[in-house]
Amino acid sequence: MVNKKETTFQVMQFSAIGGMNALIDIGILNLLLFFWPTSDNQLLILYNTIAYTLAVTNSYLCNANLTFRKKSSKNKKELIFFCLQALVSLGISNLVFIGGIALLGSFPIPAFVQNNIAKSVAMFLSSTASFFFMRYFVFRQKGTES
């Protein structure tokens, strides 16, 4: 049975770590766009992937050692599952990011604002998916080293 208090605390910890990850994610994206501005979708996906990868690395380290430490075994199997969920979440992030930019492109707002709105929605949706993947698949139980 799932402990409501523990779940609430996990959501709070995950959200705090998520805030830190968001700063990394959007900060790196904006740095890349500042130094190498582009509207090319392939470069935008590359920039988003770089930013996301740095944030998700921080996410694993923090969530394995804090949020899900009671369930984390920090073994190869867990790392593989984490990487798989990160790839799915990256796919969500890239699709929403590029889709958001395309949708917002029809509005007369600066590209910087469009990119940041699209990135914010992408981060919210991919991190929501990530939480459920981590809670129910990656850190579901302690195991032995694979």
- Cβ count near 104 (within 10 Å): 17
Residue 142 has pLDDT above 60, yes or no: no
Residue 81 has pLDDT above 80, yes or no: yes
CA angle 103-27-114, nearest 5°?
15
How many domains does the chain divide into?
Answer: 1
Domain assignment present for 144: no
Cβ atoms of 58 and 21 closer than 8 Å: yes
pLDDT of residue 72: 67
**40: exposed, middle or buried (C-beta count within 10 Å: 0-12, 13-18, 19+)?**
exposed
pLDDT of residue 47: 97
Cβ atoms of 89 and 49 closer than 8 Å: no
Domain assignment present for 79: yes
Supply the range of the domain harboring residue 61: 4-138
Domain assignment present for 82: yes
Query: For the segment 105-134, what is each residue's pLDDT rounded down to a tens digit?
Result: 999 999 999 999 999 999 999 988 887 887
Domain assignment present for 69: yes
